[in-house]
Amino acid sequence: MNLRPDFTFSLVSPNIDSHKFFAGTPLKLGIMASGSGSNFEAVAQAIDDKQLNAQIQVLIYNNPAAKAASRAAKRGIETVLLNHREYKNREVFDQKIVQTLREYDVEWLILAGWMRVVTSVLIDAFPDRIINIHPSLLPSFKGIHAVEQALKAGVKITGCTVHLVRLEVDSGPILMQAAVPILPDDTAETLHARIQVQEHRILPQAIALAAQANLITHVSVSGIG
């Protein structure tokens, strides 16, 4: 089979219709980003397109040069710079993040390219309500440089994963994955670009899926006599 350079096949699992989750009270999201903010943009656009019933309360960014901040500002979304270099350790930094998220009445936290390891301070404040996107098919290729890891390993398929956050880096229950083939002439840049297309596709859907599952669990537990 001849694979063209623009070949964009992908397999998404689970395959859901996000529209069926557009009901009830909007989710109050906080988003944290360190870089370009393309996944932030994908979530915001899904909200605009009524594919995700949510509102973004605040964007927190730790890198003063992060383009995510300008993306949020253009949409009229509140932004807060919390530079991790100004805090003595990760726990103190996360305490400030929690304080900020509570000030903005955040219910769900989305790590959309957040390049910092989080601690139990943050995880315990939002149990089962922190969602991360990672550019590999976890549990393969955890940590930084996941795309480069996949290329070095010589695998033929990689992708991206949306999962709930746990203390161990890039672990936690998997919500959704998209598989992306690796082409013979792929570089880290070309492969990452195709993976990002799928990240933007599955992140909003996974948020809706997690919220629906959380609601079902809450109702089930509350209904126990």
Give the residue numbers annotated as catalytic, written as ranges: 134
| Residue 24, marked binder | no
Residue 112 tokens read as: 């959309």
Cβ distance 148 to 188 under 8 Å?
Answer: yes
What CA–CA distance (Å, rounded) separates 41 from 5?
A: 26
Phi, psi (degrees; rounded to nearest 5) at 53: -85, 90
| Residue 116, marked binder | no
Q: Work out the end-to-end distance of the chain between its first and last CA atoms, rounded to an integer number of angstroms.
A: 59
| Residue 132, marked binder | yes
| Residue 37, marked binder | yes
Of 2, 3, 12, the closest CA to residue 197 belongs to: 12
| Residue 113, marked binder | no
Long-range Cβ contacts of 88-94 (<8 Å, 24+ apart): 90/116, 90/117, 90/118, 90/119, 91/119, 91/121, 94/118, 94/119, 94/121, 94/122
Q: Which residues define the annotated binding site?
A: 37-39, 90, 132
Q: Which residues define the annotated binding site for (6R)-10-formyltetrahydrofolate?
A: 90, 132
